[in-house]
Amino acid sequence: MKVFLIGMPASGKTTVGKRLARLIKARFVDLDAAVVAAAGTPLKQIFKTEGEWGFRVREATALLDVVRQRGDVVVATGGGAPTFGDNLAVMKHAGQVCYLRASVAALARRPGLLTRPILAAHPGGPAKGLAALFRLRRPHYEQADLTIDAEAATPAAIARAIADTVHEFAHGAERGHPHGHDHDD
Amino acid at 98: C
pLDDT at residue 185, as a whole number? 36
> Helices 155-174 and 13-24, interaxial angle, to 10°?
50
Measured distance CA(120)–CA(132) in Å, rounded: 12
Pick the CATH number of 2-174 from 3.40.50.720, 3.40.50.1950, 3.40.50.1700, 3.40.50.300: 3.40.50.300
Measured distance CA(148)–CA(154) in Å, rounded: 12
| Closest residue by Cα to residue 93 from 57, 124, 54, 64 | 64
pLDDT at residue 172, as a whole number? 60
Q: pLDDT tens digits, the chain, 185 residues: what are they?
A: 999 999 999 999 999 999 999 999 999 999 999 999 999 999 889 988 998 899 999 999 999 999 999 999 999 999 999 999 999 999 999 999 999 999 999 998 888 777 776 777 778 878 888 899 999 999 999 999 999 999 988 999 999 999 999 877 665 655 444 444 433 33
Name the β-bridge partners of 100. 148
Whether the CB-CB separation of 95 and 24 falls below 8 Å is answered with no
pTM for this prediction: 0.88
Domain ranges within the chain, ordered by starting residue: 2-174
Alpha carbon dihedral 91, 92, 94, 96, in 10-degree steps, equals 100
Amino acid at 66: V
